[in-house]
A and B are shown apart, each in its own frame.
Chain A
């Protein structure tokens, strides 16, 4: 991919599964996420914790043990600890984040940004949802930093807590 390739072209190529020899969809979308992370690093890191929100995918939940309540396109975490959401929420709260929200799908993002008045988003997502979520946040004028899931799929996914912690805690000023 040349450096001039537009984000939309990258995304479409990823969705079509182009460049199979380079790994196909996942790798192209992962490259798009790295690119957007680079572009958003400065704005994300100069935003105080108190103006950042964490958006988590519902697929991180434990399908067998989750006690979260579903409400208005979100899951309200009860902190049972059966998945990593409780730990991420705990650390975000300690740092003073605006909040941690567990989304049923990306369509809730514009409403959440408006509702929380977030100035920056830390998103945790699979390559496809991450790429789409980044576009939605950018459309709303909010920089987003994305930590990709370790294991995608639509249920019982996983994320590296150390990666999340590094992004949660990073601060430039």
Chain B
């Protein structure tokens, strides 16, 4: 058991009630074999995850997970195994149906909704999503009224960079946490490769905006917290996740609709592994496969990611490295830090160490985060 393995993204279906322009799950050529059945989802994914960690949570995603006929059955099954569920949803069914109440009931309250919002102006939001922000905000309102925790997910690309700082600033004024996801050229996004942000965007816009928000889940990369200070913080706060920075293959894994296993949800359909829950036990892939082991150990990282003071506490985004060079152990092309070697400290180290401390205190001061982490 590795109780610091924290989260498995489970894209249970590619079906969706929206047609977002660069949806990373939509593809013209879905893998053969079809969606995992209810029994497969339970035995080959959820039961297997319970073998990996007693502290694991599942992020049910899609497509739109709630469109599956067994959506609530799977949520209830995960809850019976003691798992917290995150439900990554576009919010439409939360607004149009009784989904919030049913999900709360199915999980006995052990759930968090994850609501996507890329900008707080309708035009920018709709350029990346097949919907205005109103649906997601109404879904958040319903969650709030029914006592269901939620946070926002902002996918960052060149398309929403201009208003990113402003969007994050507004969300901070509501006290609702947010998580960032990098746009990757996956699925329908392959036709939008030009929207991938670069190291200059990261240095000038994205990193300052994320760093300034004490409520952002600070797993973003590059991340320059002091390795020594983080060890001490982990002891002090008794944190259950492996660390911050990139968690691909460490605290995170992902399973696709047809059972593919990858170290991070951004890497589904990328061809970076051939592993599939239908052919290999998920628990074995996570704990013993050479790829997951290499990502956990980080001794084989290449380029500046392998020659950096922050190799263990940041590690660079493995998905962005893969889409850039085809090598999952390659260097993160969006990192703006230029170390001479492992002795070079970032000017941002103290600020990000303090940010880590604020974030950990936030996690430990209230539910549901205290229980989830």
Contacts and interface: CB of A to CB of B under 8 A. Distances in A.
A147 B172 CA distance: 11
Contacts of A78: none
Given A172-B132, A172-B133, A163 B173 contact: yes
A8 interface: no
8 contacts: A37-B174, A37-B175, A38-B176, A145-B173, A169-B166, A170-B120, A170-B170, A173-B122
Contacts of A112: none
A38 B133 contact: no
A24 B338 CA distance: 44
Interface string A120-133: 00000000000000
A34 interface: yes
A61 to B, nearest CB: 23
A147 B173 CA distance: 7
B297 interface: no
Contacts, number: 68
Contacts of B174: 34, 37-38, 41
B138 interface: yes
A28 interface: no
Contacts of B268: none
B238 interface: no
Interface string A37-49: 1110111011000
Interface in B134-149: 134, 137-138, 140-141, 144, 147
Interface in A34-68: 34-35, 37-39, 41-43, 45-46
A166 B121 CA distance: 10
Contacts of A45: 120, 133-134, 137
Nearest to A37: B174
Interface string A135-173: 000000000010100000000000000110111011111
Given A34-B175, A42-B134, 17 more contacts: A34-B174, A37-B175, A41-B137, A43-B141, A45-B120, A162-B165, A162-B166, A165-B166, A166-B120, A166-B167, A169-B121, A170-B120, A170-B170, A171-B121, A172-B120, A172-B122, A172-B137
Interface residues of A, number: 24
Contact of A166 (B144, B173, B367): B173
A38 B140 CA distance: 9
Interface of A: 3, 31, 34-35, 37-39, 41-43, 45-46, 145, 147, 162-163, 165-167, 169-173
A171 B138 contact: no
Contacts of A38: 144, 174-176
A173 B141 contact: no
Query: What interface size band does chain B fall in?
Result: 20 to 34
A165 B165 CA distance: 11
Interface in B160-185: 165-167, 169-170, 173-176
B140 A42 contact: yes
Contacts of A147: 173
Interface in B111-139: 120-122, 132-134, 137-138
Most buried by A among B137, B144, B169, B170: B170
Q: In the A-B complex, list the 6 residue pairs whose CB atoms are closest, starting with the nearest.
A: A34-B175, A42-B141, A166-B169, A170-B120, A173-B134, A172-B134
Given A42-B137, A42-B138, A173-B134, A37 B173 contact: yes
Contacts of A37: 173-175
B300 to A, nearest CB: 42
A166 B176 CA distance: 15
B121 A170 contact: yes
B132 to A, nearest CB: 5
Nearest to A147: B173
Contacts of A163: 169, 173
